[in-house]
Amino acid sequence: MSSPAHNDPSRWAHLPDMLRVHGFAALQPGPRLMVLGGVHGNETCGSLAIERVVAQFDAGELALLRGQLTLVPVANPLARRQLTREGERNLNRNFRPSAKGQAPADYEARITDLLCPLLDRHEVLLDLHSFQSAGEAFAMIGPRDNTGTLEPFARAAEEGLLALHLRTPRVVEGWLDIYAAGLAQRARAGIAVEEDAIDFGRGTNEYMRTRGGYGVTLECGQHDDPTAPEVAYQAILAALRLLQMLPPVAGETPPAHPQLLRLASVTDRLHADDQFVRDWATFDAVARGEPIGQRADGRVVQAPDDGYIVFPNDEALPGTEWFYFARESERRLA
């Protein structure tokens, strides 16, 4: 697939090292929603959608009924200029402010130090992304309500309702649980794991939950999918309508319940010669025992159960996530 115009490097080549933040506040109190685009530099659909929404507010085509809306079209200018996932590291990992009195360790830490105070002033986050493999748009949510130590949470119903109203055919849960399980799996395999490695799995939504809010990641489709910007745009409007920050659409049908999948395992690429047996797309169904890939030493990697491939990455570096495996969940969003 050829790259569309929004992924033309010349469009973003002169982006300065600063965050452009757009804020709108209604005179009536209400929810405080923040929308992020471009957390990963090669994911441009959210940026285009946010710019479209900002233009409509500026033209008077949209107006807030209540609450506050903050939009950041490009959260990582360095990565965007390069049209790469990362600048110096993944902005959507270890997302927390620098320790008091400590200088930020890298470019992304400087960005995080700016974004965290913004998130602190909001209660709802919509983070717009896209993905490398082929596949349909889907939403990602956090844990069920719990008082555990990994990710305590008390707003799962509100988060699920937001995901439901984004109207994707699928919603995925279980990210941080499986990230933690993946670290334990590496440790058992004798791969060195730093003591605080779990923090590297915490991104924008995980941070928002620690602040008493909730958030949904919307994966709008494959990076170069020409429909992804429209998916992102409609999601922003859907979130605003759900929160009663924009008027409802007359005659709009209630959202259908999506298929809910729970991440069950992650498989790392161990060697550069590890190869998939075919080109997988996110949400390709697999049967228990079906070959998924082959290791460099000839061993076959098989599906552990009936389920679905998620985020297959044939460009994964050795020692990083090669693909995730998900099963259907019995949970309902709302």
Q: Which of 196, 202, 98 has the alpha carbon at shortest distance from 142?
A: 202
Residues 6 or more apart whose Cβ sits within 8 Å of residue 159: 141, 142, 214, 215, 216
The H-or-E segment that residue 188 falls in is: helix 175-188
Task: Kindly list the distances between the CA atom of residue 320 and the CA atoms of 185, 269, 312, in Å, as whole numbers in the listed order.
Answer: 12, 6, 12
Neighbours of 317 (CB within 10 A): 11
- Whether 278 shows a pLDDT value over 80: the answer reads yes
Give the tens place of pLDDT for each residue, 172-192: 999 999 988 888 888 887 777
Q: Which of 6, 4, 5, 12 has the alpha carbon at shortest distance from 82?
A: 12
Segment 198-227 shows an average pLDDT of 95
Q: What pLDDT, on the 0 to 100 scale, is given for residue 134?
A: 85
User: Model pTM greater than 0.85?
Assistant: yes
Handedness of CA 255, 171, 331, 236 (dihedral sign): negative
Q: What pLDDT, on the 0 to 100 scale, is given for residue 1?
A: 41
State how far the Cα of 144 lies from the Cα of 214, in Å rounded to an integer: 12
